[in-house]
Amino acid sequence: LLLPACGSLLSYLFLLTKYEAMGVLMVSCSPGGSFSNFFTFWCDGDLALSIVMTTFSSVLAFGGMPFNIWLYSRIWVDDDESTPLVIPYSIITIALVFITIPVAIGMIIRHFNQRVARIITQVASILGWLGCLLVMIIWMILYWRVFLDATPLLYLSAFLLPVLGFSIAYILARILCRSHKVCRTIGIETGSQNMVVALSIILLSFKEPTVRASMLLFPTLYGMTLLIEIFIGITLFHAWRRYYRKSGEDYYPDPHTATIEKGVDAEMTALRHTTTSN
């Protein structure tokens, strides 16, 4: 609900062209992606919550994406000139599979051997950064012309959309008395979208080369600016944390926040018994 409204507002305020605004809308209506889980880990957020939010947003996208696109696209496109949009349900389903299956495998490994899970987490986190770097390089090689053709206002829109999504979600979560750890998670999930879904809608629905090129401008800029912004944000967060952390505190992010406490009932019974005796 939040990001489509923010994207439409930016497009309206910056007087973007019709198809540039539609590109903004495609991105802002997309569900969260797996990158948000990686970002949450390195910002020491609630990774369990991040995965749950990504899963739920992907499920809700089956109905939410068509509704939001229909609702906000009417600002720029009349009914007689609208193009039937192809929602890539199969890609959303594949994204769900790629989220849930690795999580299930990780839970099993962690349950039986936490040391192995810790090693896998550290190795995978390094591979994740290499993947981000590779994506940025490939993106620049493939779409270098887009970065030359884009207007300053389109650059500003691509910069502000993730910032707005993160900031508003963070503030709302704080108003609801959530911890900073949870607020960071909700903010990252709200500001990070699944780029594959947005690009698939554009490529599957619009065949005219000029129209497709105009609509691809914003998703391309958004993908690059999101990676740059999150890299800067993670760097600043770790610099702040390293400066203010307590002596002896573990610096490496906690890969898992949801835990199963063994023997809680027995401990509570003993505590009540001791309290009663006293």
47-95 pLDDT, tens digit per residue, is 889 989 988 888 888 888 888 888 888 877 766 566 667 777 788 888 8
**How many C-beta neighbours within 10 Å does residue 89 have?**
12
**Which of 50, 53, 3, 51 has the alpha carbon at shortest distance from 27?**
3
**How many C-beta neighbours within 10 Å does residue 186 have?**
23
Confidence class of residue 246 from pLDDT cuts 50, 70 and 90? low
**How many C-beta neighbours within 10 Å does residue 33 have?**
24
* Type of residue numbered 169: A
Confidence class of residue 271 from pLDDT cuts 50, 70 and 90? very low
Torsion over CA: 168, 165, 7, 58 (sign): negative
In whole angstroms, what is the distance from residue 147 CA to residue 223 CA?
Answer: 12
Radius of gyration of the chain (CA): 21
What value, to the nearest 5°, has the Cα angle with vertex 46 and ends 40 and 243? 70
In whole angstroms, what is the distance from residue 28 CA to residue 22 CA?
Answer: 10
All domains of the chain in start order, with CATH: 1-250 (1.20.1530.20)
pTM (predicted TM-score): 0.77
User: Structure tokens of 166?
Assistant: 């993160």
DSSP state of 253: P
